[in-house]
């Protein structure tokens, strides 16, 4: 995994706050008849992640791709502060700085995820959630509770599951880029 199993963050933060935000992909896919594409994307990314995790060299490549897709994803959290021809460059740079905080101090990164990225993600997906609002909010809450209950320490830090997590995150980023962010105005 990118973070060491020796580093003990509260696994409930991962499973109860950070992980559930990706369920908006399924809500969007259901509303837009993209469920097959989402499931295919998830399957492909998870299987590829498991395949690449079999050897040290390909695991390094997978980790680089994982971080790269995270940088692409986090750029949507960066507001446009300066009007210039380099807005996307600014976003990518600040997104890279954000992901670098993970290497400097894991706590900073998890604060970022909890207090900026996840709330911003729900904000950017508010129109998706607002269609059939009660059903979608109930679904998000149920999924959050489910992940909170199964998110035991042994599951979160079991190296056998690391490729699964990476594959799901990569698939989440790809789906967001292909189907959601290309249609959003920030």
Specify the number of domains making up the chain.
Answer: 1
**138 in a domain, yes or no?**
yes
pLDDT of 186: 46
pLDDT of 14: 80
**111 in a domain, yes or no?**
yes
**85 in a domain, yes or no?**
yes
Q: How much is the pTM?
A: 0.83
10-residue mean pLDDT series, the chain (186 residues): 51 83 94 95 96 90 87 77 60 70 74 88 92 93 87 71 91 94 65
pLDDT of 5: 47
**1 in a domain, yes or no?**
no
**159 in a domain, yes or no?**
yes
Classified as helix, coil or strand, 4 is coil
* Domain extent for 17: 11-183
Q: What are phi and psi of 86, to 5 degrees?
A: -115, 35
pLDDT of 81: 53
Distances (CA, A) of 10 to 22, 31, 81, 111, 124: 19, 34, 33, 12, 26
Measuring CA to CA, which residue among 38, 20, 30 is closest to residue 135? 30
**172 in a domain, yes or no?**
yes
Measuring CA to CA, which residue among 34, 76, 62 is closest to residue 170? 62
pLDDT of 138: 94
pLDDT of 157: 72
Distances (CA, A) of 159 to 2, 41, 165: 11, 23, 10
């Amino acid at each position: 995994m990118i973070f060491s199993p020796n580093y003990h963050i509260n696994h409930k933060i991962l499973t109860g706050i950070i992980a559930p935000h990706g369920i908006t992909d399924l809500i969007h896919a259901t509303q837009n008849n993209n469920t097959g594409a989402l499931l295919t994307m998830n399957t492909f990314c998870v299987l590829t992640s498991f395949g690449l995790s079999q050897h040290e060299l390909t695991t390094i490549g997978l980790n680089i791709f994982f971080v790269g897709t995270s940088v692409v994803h986090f750029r949507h959290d960066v507001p446009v502060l300066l009007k210039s021809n380099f807005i996307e460059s600014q976003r990518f740079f600040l997104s890279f700085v954000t992901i670098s905080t993970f290497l400097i101090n894991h706590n900073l990164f998890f604060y970022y995820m909890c207090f900026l990225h996840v709330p911003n993600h729900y904000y950017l997906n508010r129109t998706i959630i607002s269609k059939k609002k009660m059903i979608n909010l109930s679904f998000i809450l149920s999924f959050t509770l489910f992940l909170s209950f199964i998110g035991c320490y042994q599951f979160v830090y079991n190296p056998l599951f690391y490729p699964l997590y990476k594959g799901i995150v990569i698939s989440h980023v790809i789906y967001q880029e292909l189907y959601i962010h290309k249609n959003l105005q920030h």
